[in-house]
Structure 1
Amino acid sequence: MTRDFAETNRQVFEKKSRTYKSDFAKGVETLVNVAQSQRTWVSNVWTDTEAGQGKDLRMLEYACGPGHISLALAPFVSSVVGLDISDGMIEEFNKNVHEAGRSDTMTGIKANLLADSAPAEVSGPEYFDFDIVVVSMALHHFEHPGKALKCLGERLKNGGVMMIMDLIPEQHHDHGLHQMGEVVHTISKHGFSAEEMQKMYEDAGAGDGFKYQVIEERLEFTKDGNKFHKTIFVARGQK
């Protein structure tokens, strides 16, 4: 992610960290439902499943925002690390984690994994060998999504699973975008097909058992009083 593109994302989401809850309340609800209902489709290894019982299961959420997805999946893993390039989002993440009483097993850290060299604060062994890496509704904000998946694939342990939720490609992706303001400048790609995702997973070394599923319930969010609806997918692949 070039400095300019990453910086634009950081600035925009810094501002959004304060209004994220209200702007995306309905969409967040949908994403949380999808994450929880599809988790056993993504992986059979969770603390409440036979395959995961008694194991120390570590999860990384990249571009974690305020932590809604991390909190939704936290009951089914042993620990969660949330990383984001925005101070405001990490503040919200840690505040939400504290309010949920999960500060002992969850932590949010400001870091840009997609910088030319990974920041020192996340270079220790505790930031590698995750059982599951999650990216929710952030891939289309990464300047180089394929490179992003490779970086995240390096953080997975062998046998670990990558779970991604994002937008499907739309033929008229510019519809209503002029109403979305500065967020437009943080979007690098308007959705990903199953074929594109599979190639990126394979290039990231996490293509085993690749699956891609379009979610029936559409994502709803509000911007300046305008409602938008988008169709999303969930994908999974194993290292």
Structure 2
Amino acid sequence: MSDFTELNRQYFRSVHDQYRVQSAFLTNPHSKLASSYREEFRQGQELIFNEVQGRRAWISDTWNDTKSGKGHKIRMLEYACGPGAVSAALAPFVDHIVGIDVSEEMIKQFNINAQETGFADKMHGYHGDLLAEPVPDHLSGPEFFDFDLVAVSMALHHFDKPDMALQRLGERLKKDGMFLIIDLVLEDEHSSNSLQKAFPQASATVRTHGFTSDSMQKLFEEAGMGQNFDYKVIQEPIVFRKEGKEIRKTVFIARSQRS
């Protein structure tokens, strides 16, 4: 594990107890989450959940309720999964979900959320680092490959080497599988400095301050996933709140397909 990855692991260990995805979140996306869910992260997790579920047909046409998915076991990997908002959004439409995170505490929360949302039979979280050199043996078995979908949400900007990350994670996809990214739109230097001033601890874990459509397309193409690329800016900003401070950031959702 690199020093930068360890810095991220320690930071997300310190905030893991602020995340919850409750069953009410799945049955009624507009309802408020339980009081144990800290306000700092509620809006962001709801935004991701709603955008992913609302754009499901755009992400892929292969689900357990579609013609192309009929008769197939649909498998998904969410890397740097955190509490699993993307997994929760897509769990009704796939057969098996693997969540992997470098933070043990986040994986505990992922598995708790799987229980609370009624998807423990298909959502399973594992602690580990797929970007390590070498990849841990316990994440190298056949059950960790040949996914129909790989998703990375609000994490690519934390990766030390985004290009290597997409190449490594793209290898986990089956041919013609889809890769989904949700992350920050690249903004001006002033916006980046505002984030650093408001949240210095979190900012220290950021390697890249956002991605344009062109930069994402290049990353996908270089990782062998250049088919059917699309990039959409999400109109509602994601809101970061902590200790009375608030920052709004524009995010995108992008998809591309393994060649």
Task: Please tell me the TM-score bracket, short chain as reference.
Answer: over 0.9
- Residues 75-84 or 98-107, more deviating: 98-107
Post-superposition Cα deviations, 1:70-120, rounded to whole Å, max 9, x if no partner, equal 111111111100000001000100111111121111100001001111111
Q: Distance in 2 between matches of 1:123 and 1:93?
A: 21
TM-score scaled by length of structure 2: 0.89
Matches within 5 A, 1:44-59: 44-59=61-76
Same amino acid, percent of matched pairs: 47
Q: Distance in 1 between matches of 2:144 and 2:214?
A: 29
- Preserved CA contact (<8 Å) 2:179 2:257: yes
Matched with 1:115 is 132
Post-superposition Cα deviations, 1:193-214, rounded to whole Å, max 9, x if no partner, equal 1111011101111111111111
Matched with 1:184 is 203
Q: Distance in 2 between matches of 1:98 and 1:53?
A: 26
- Preserved CA contact (<8 Å) 2:198 2:247: no
Matched with 2:159 is 142
Post-superposition Cα deviations, 1:45-82, rounded to whole Å, max 9, x if no partner, equal 11122221232100000000011221111111111000
Matched with 2:218 is 199
Residue 221 of structure 2 aligns with an amino acid whose one-letter code is E
- Preserved CA contact (<8 Å) 2:195 2:203: no
Residue 228 of structure 1 aligns with an amino acid whose one-letter code is I
Residue 14 of structure 1 aligns with an amino acid whose one-letter code is R
Matches within 5 A, 1:71-220: 71-171=88-188, 172=190, 173-220=192-239
Q: Distance in 2 between matches of 1:176 and 1:165?
A: 18
Q: Distance in 2 between matches of 1:13 and 1:176?
A: 17
Residue 149 of structure 2 aligns with an amino acid whose one-letter code is I
Deviation at 1:224, TM superposition (A): 1.2
Unaligned 5+ segments in structure 2 are 20-36
3-state SS of 1:216 partner: coil
3-state SS of 2:204 partner: helix
Matched with 1:33 is 50
Residue 180 of structure 1 aligns with an amino acid whose one-letter code is F
Task: Work out whether 1:224 is the aligned partner of 2:243.
Answer: yes
- Preserved CA contact (<8 Å) 1:209 1:237: yes
RMSD: 1.0
Matched with 2:14 is 15
Matched with 2:33 is none
Q: Which has the higher contact order (CA 8 A, sep 6+)?
A: 1
3-state SS of 1:24 partner: helix
TM-score scaled by length of structure 1: 0.97
Matched with 2:3 is 4
Unaligned 5+ segments in structure 1 are none
3-state SS of 1:174 partner: helix
